[in-house]
Amino acid sequence: MESKFNRPLAITHPIEMEDRIKLSHGAGGESMTGLIKEHILTHFAPTNDGNREIKIGIRQLDDSAVVGDTVFTIDGHTVKPLFFPGGDLGSLAVAGTVNDIAVMGGEPLAMASSFIIEEGLPMETFERVCESMGKTAKAAGVPLVTGDTKVVEKGSIDKFMVITSAFGKMSPYLKSNLDEARIYRPLDTEWLKDSNLAEGDVIIVSGNIADHGVAILSGREGYGFDTNIKSDVAPINGLIGEALKVGGVTVAKDPTRGGIANTLNEWAEKSKVGILIDEERIPLAKGTLAACEMLGIDPLNVGNEGKLVLGVVPGKADGVLAALRAHPLGKNAAIIGRATSKIRGVVMETLVGGKRIVEPPVGDPVPRIC
């Protein structure tokens, strides 16, 4: 199947492609990291220099920034279609931002939303998205306190995009969680940073991977496949809270664009430690696997919107796993591997008994999943 997301970009711009923005620059993988490092940090980062209040800034390329005792994040949502099995633009816009605060060890306190709407959007569509945002905000326990609305002329934007921002403070469970980890090894940080992973830490995923990306595709016209797969979109601040109460969590991430392959490669690179995972243990629904095989995409690279990947000190892994499984969003949680200095990067022991390198994805194979 020659699908849209595989079309060679060079067809559109045969010349000077290197000097233009490509879809992969926004797909959450290596290409996006390159764009940020080469073209954004040059201009933004100098303004951070010398400001000791910035504990985690834009240079760290983490899920949120930490300024003083405030955790802060923003996320644009351009999902297509607006409504898909299991969710919609509204639930996604709220969950995505809540989750970015939560995986730093933050407790989100309030959200803001910016609407960019195409002239002519049916009011009913607009209101359904607002309703979904309100419901998801209520489920997460995080109020929407301010916003902005822009309407652009027909053809200037594809229907409707929602950008959300949130701020929060440190989770009340974070300090004791890190103290529990320190019983096992030194850990010089106040927050769940991508660079915290160390030799021996156990990797846990909170449930079936890749459902979100597959649900998005099945919701698009012209893909010609039928699945019962629903997006996992959900706020996971409650779920991570249960893990932090147990303690020993050193690093956390919601594996969105680029999937768990991207998450694990970011950790391996920033923490300077290898990660060995076991294919057999990775929770994956049969229908999702079948769809990925049909589309020729790797489920490890497909985005999730309600999952949590954790690194946990060995002595606490079973306790954290049990806590996740006791939560409605973590029933299928599983230990999928561990950090080891014996390898570099991310390596997977495959079902057939071999080993393969899990490459950092260039980007997510499914465009506009979030």
Residues within window 75-104 making contact with its own copies, judged by CB under 8 A: 75-78, 80
Coil, strand or helix: which one is 101? helix
Taking the C-alpha atoms of residue 217 and residue 195, their distance in angstroms, rounded to an integer, is: 33
Near its own copies by CB under 8 A: residue from 27, 276, 321, 335: 27
User: Are 3 and 223 spatial neighbours (Cβ–Cβ below 8 Å)?
Assistant: yes
Count CB atoms within 10 A of the CB of residue 305.
Answer: 29
Coil, strand or helix: which one is 88? strand
The least CB distance from residue 345 to its own copies, in Å, is: 24
Q: Is 65 in the site for its own copies (CB under 8 A)?
A: yes
Size of site (CB under 8 A) for its own copies: 91
Considering only residues 151 through 210, tell me which ones interact with its own copies, judged by CB under 8 A.
151-158, 161, 163-165, 167
Nearer to its own copies, 193 or 316 (CB): 193
The pair of three-digit structure tokens given for residue 23, joined into one six-digit string: 């879809």
The least CB distance from residue 96 to its own copies, in Å, is: 9
Nearer to its own copies, 117 or 181 (CB): 117
The pair of three-digit structure tokens given for residue 322, joined into one six-digit string: 């049990």
Near its own copies by CB under 8 A: residue from 3, 30, 58, 220: 58
Considering only residues 100 through 129, tell me which ones interact with its own copies, judged by CB under 8 A.
109-110, 112-124, 126-127
The least CB distance from residue 134 to its own copies, in Å, is: 3
Considering only residues 32 through 51, tell me which ones interact with its own copies, judged by CB under 8 A.
32, 35-36, 39-40, 42-44, 46-48, 51
At residue 346, what are phi and psi to the nearest 5 degrees?
-120, 130
Q: Is 143 in the site for its own copies (CB under 8 A)?
A: yes
CA nearest to 80, candidates 196, 215, 185, 188 = 215
The least CB distance from residue 78 to its own copies, in Å, is: 5
Provide CB contacts within 8 A for 307, sequence distance 6+. 205, 206, 207, 208, 209, 232, 236, 254, 255
Q: Which stretch binds its own copies (CB under 8 A): 147-155, 225-233, 311-319, 337-345?
A: 147-155
Q: Which stretch binds its own copies (CB under 8 A): 149-157, 222-230, 284-292, 299-307?
A: 149-157
Instruction: Give the HSE-up count for residue 114: Cα atoms under 13 Å, Cβ half-sphere.
Output: 11
Near its own copies by CB under 8 A: residue from 1, 6, 10, 20: 20
The pair of three-digit structure tokens given for residue 162, joined into one six-digit string: 């929602």
Q: Is 223 in the site for its own copies (CB under 8 A)?
A: no
Q: Is 243 in the site for its own copies (CB under 8 A)?
A: no
| Buried-state track 85-102, b at ≥16 Cβ within 10 A, e below 16 | bbbbbbbbbbbbbbbbbb
CA nearest to 200, candidates 313, 279, 277, 358 = 313
